[in-house]
Chain A
């Protein structure tokens, strides 16, 4: 991937700009002051474990929570203290938030009525929105008569129907089972593509984030950890947290030393490992991140460590091998198909190319 992809397009005015936005309860920060730009039409995901501040950020953008510091701009207009019902945002909740006393069609018509739409126009738009989520025949049902997946479709239709310029989604698929979730991910991507809306999406599921986003904003401990395209964050995690949270990784920690030829080496419990592209002085501690698919048995690369096979995990399309290394450390290796599968307890050497390992200072 070209590195330019990860840079936000700064030329145009961002659709949504968050500047120094922060929230604290007493002395506990729920979100440290944060800057973030979302260009028009982008699908940005706020990804992080619970308590990382992602929902707080979302709630301050839509106006359900008042910030302690900072500003929210939509189309360069300061909306920090605009009441929630005048922001023209769309919000999709994990709990769907359908009104139980209104039918599906009435739920979808609700935001249009709040905007004073003419009745004739309204019926047509509701039908279009229902068709968009493939629920055309269910307009007269009540929410309690629908399955979870159907309810979330209605919630999506209710949000897309009034074409808000920014759509915020707070773990919208969190209450669905895995199969349905993957299906709905495709639906949401399609709606995003068809409407060209700017979407800010909150999830704690890294696979979902990788599958759906134009960019991911990775959050941890009430602050932004790294912002970038999915490919960028996966290939070049900037922190150990980023490496660990997104995808499977092997992390080798150690002290930085200089080899006799002047190149930087990492002194780990597994021995000296080569490092490429370390900036700054060669001292202190650092870590090497190696993805499981970049490790091969036999140590044909430049780096090689020894261990014994501790566990085999068969996962359908692939098999993962867990290798017990020295000092209680473990490594995960994705076995390439067609190779001989080692026995449990067998001594193996595993290795990788230096260029495939990411250095984290």
Chain B
């Protein structure tokens, strides 16, 4: 009997299998993601004094016209941002996808760089570009287009420019892998069957790129829903978004319950969008797995195909007319020209900060009257700025280590697991990317206030690790996909136990992904503002928090110098990450 019982009890433990490696991550997410978010939601249905259940806060939300209006504005701006980002990003992604591999990798960096550049730095750039005394107005006046500076910010135009600029890289980077995954041979196949170039695009490439397009729409929309930096700095009162209201409720009024209700609203809007997306396209296209069956219901699909058929016919006529009128070269040159302009739109604004940082003027004027290192001296001579910089580096370093450890082991467990919980665990690890940052930040703030972690470096590291986890997990998962697991068996037959296999075989081979995870986590923390806004307090401020405070108060050239420092740090780290990832 004991002999029979022994193998049974031994089988018990490994039944969850390699998923055990994800356990530390799951515990972390339970305490610092699920708990605070649920607590925040429960606050919204609690009476602040008695603790009794109440719908009072939601009633207030509906009664006051202003909140519903802000909700409408939030959806409008997020919708327009998603539409413009996907629409403008699609041709750029299409162009990148059709380049030879090595050239594509190099040019994709020009999209990755603005993706990782801090939103604060990008927004600062637009403020000095589009402001009344900004570069654009100076140029227009010099050209005589206008004699008075135009108002380009503090309205919807300014917000949309900033939002689209911030979201375009995400849209392109989401669509790109789907497009490069499309079998390039299908175009010539369609050609031999009689399809003209426009028909090949609309009937073959476009429907096959739909999962990427839809995923890009979803990600840009839900990210835009939770934005506050851009509308706060580039918009006017008419462009106030939901996240800004939440910040006000916490920082000015300290009304937790109402902030909870607003957070619930934002969270529900986000989840509803995800649910709708899943019904229409299937979330599997987000992770890049091919769907196992046809997803679109019959009638939608037939209508879609008929629509595309007419699009194809329309554009074939246009294309042939264009080829006759302007020559075939003209049509072929359009796409590269567009791609060049789009990349210039992504890169140039940030570079425009450079001359401002080296200005000798006391004001942010363009062109600078002279050049000097004056503002860098101010920056390096300021205890506040240097303190913030040191803190940011320290927190980012700790975040990188922690996120990579937790995320790396989780990735290892998920890659090896055949458990049916695998999908759910993976989704939970990606949740910090989906749940609006502002909701996470407010939730953590409440939790930290109770356990004394507000204004502490530990609190910052925990918050940033939460945000960096998905990036670390994805970076390690990406290299594990290409890892040949039979090598582990080989190592075992040669006498290595599990730990030694991990140390001597697996880790050296996925080193590139681990380094990439470290660097991505570092960057995520280094330019993070939302969590820092609440969790870092008083003198214990981080670099982005200090920037934000200055930008709200008064623009000054020191900000340009700080922007340059952040930009250089992030660029160097990103180049290093790409190098390691490629060498893996």
Contact = CB atoms under 8 A, between A and B. Distances in A.
B192 A62 contact: yes
Interface in B197-219: 199, 203-204, 207-208
B38 interface: no
A115 B194 contact: yes
Given A97-B185, A106-B305, A111 B193 contact: yes
Contact of A110 (B185, B193, B294): B193
A100 B204 CA distance: 9
A64 B186 contact: no
A114 interface: yes
Contacts of B183: 95, 100
B194 A162 contact: yes
A91 interface: yes
Contact of B189 (A86, A91, A106, A142): A91
A101 interface: yes
A162 B204 CA distance: 19
A161 B294 CA distance: 25
Contacts of A95: 183, 185
Contacts of A84: 188, 191-192
Interface string B358-390: 000000000000000000000000000000000
A142 B295 CA distance: 12
16 contacts: A85-B194, A86-B194, A87-B192, A88-B194, A89-B192, A95-B183, A95-B185, A97-B185, A99-B186, A101-B207, A101-B208, A106-B305, A110-B193, A110-B195, A114-B193, A158-B193
Contacts of A258: none
7 tightest A-B CB contacts, nearest first: A97-B189, A114-B194, A91-B192, A111-B193, A84-B191, A101-B207, A85-B191
A287 B204 CA distance: 54
A113 interface: yes
Contacts of A91: 189, 192
Name the residue in B192, B208, B290 with the highest tally of chain A Cβ atoms < 10 Å from its Cβ. B192
A227 to B, nearest CB: 25
Nearest to B188: A64
B199 A114 contact: yes
A67 interface: no
A85 B203 CA distance: 14
Interface residues of B, number: 21
Interface residues of A, number: 29
A292 B172 CA distance: 63
A111 B189 CA distance: 10
Interface of A: 62-64, 83-91, 93, 95, 97, 99-102, 106, 110-111, 113-115, 142, 144, 158, 162
A231 to B, nearest CB: 32
A111 B204 CA distance: 13
Contacts of A113: 309
Given A90-B193, A101-B207, A114-B194, 14 more contacts: A63-B191, A85-B196, A88-B194, A95-B185, A97-B185, A97-B186, A99-B186, A99-B190, A101-B208, A110-B193, A111-B194, A113-B309, A142-B294, A162-B194
B192 A90 contact: yes
A89 B195 CA distance: 12
Nearest to A113: B309
Given A95-B185, A106-B305, A142-B294, A100 B191 contact: no
**Interface residues of B, dominant DSSP:** helix
Contact of A114 (B186, B195, B290): B195
A85 B195 contact: yes
Given A85-B195, A162-B194, A99 B204 contact: yes
Most chain B beta-carbon neighbours within 10 Å: one of A85, A89, A100, A115: A85
B294 A64 contact: no
A142 B296 CA distance: 13
A280 B185 CA distance: 51
Interface in B264-305: 290, 294, 305
B295 to A, nearest CB: 11
Given A95-B185, A99-B186, A64 B191 contact: yes
A97 B195 CA distance: 14
Contacts of A97: 185-186, 189
Contacts of A64: 188, 191-192
A144 B183 CA distance: 14
B213 to A, nearest CB: 13
A89 B185 CA distance: 17
Contacts of B191: 63-64, 83-85
A91 B129 CA distance: 55
Contacts of A144: 290
**Which of B190, B194, B203, B204: most chain A Cβ within 10 A?**
B194
A42 B292 CA distance: 42
A93 B191 CA distance: 13
A89 to B, nearest CB: 6
Contacts of B188: 64, 84
Interface in B305-338: 305, 309
Contact of A93 (B189, B194, B199, B208): B189
A260 to B, nearest CB: 63
Nearest to B290: A144
A161 to B, nearest CB: 10
Contacts of B309: 113
Nearest to B200: A85
Contacts of B190: 85, 99, 110
Contacts of A83: 191, 196
Contacts of B192: 62, 64, 84-85, 87, 89-91
A114 B199 CA distance: 8
A2 B571 CA distance: 77
Contacts of B195: 85, 110, 114
Contacts of A93: 185, 189
A63 B195 CA distance: 13
B304 to A, nearest CB: 10
B74 to A, nearest CB: 34
Contacts of A90: 192-193
Contacts of A102: 305
B435 to A, nearest CB: 32
A88 B305 CA distance: 24
A142 B294 CA distance: 8
Nearest to A103: B294
A87 B195 CA distance: 11
Interface in B160-179: none
Nearest to B199: A114
A62 B191 CA distance: 10
B214 to A, nearest CB: 14
A64 B309 CA distance: 24
A242 B461 CA distance: 73
A84 to B, nearest CB: 4
A100 B189 contact: no
A312 B290 CA distance: 50
A101 B209 CA distance: 10
Select the residue from B193, B194, B196, B294 with max chain A CB neighbours within 10 A: B193
Contacts of A89: 192
A106 B188 CA distance: 18
Contact of A100 (B194, B208, B305): B208
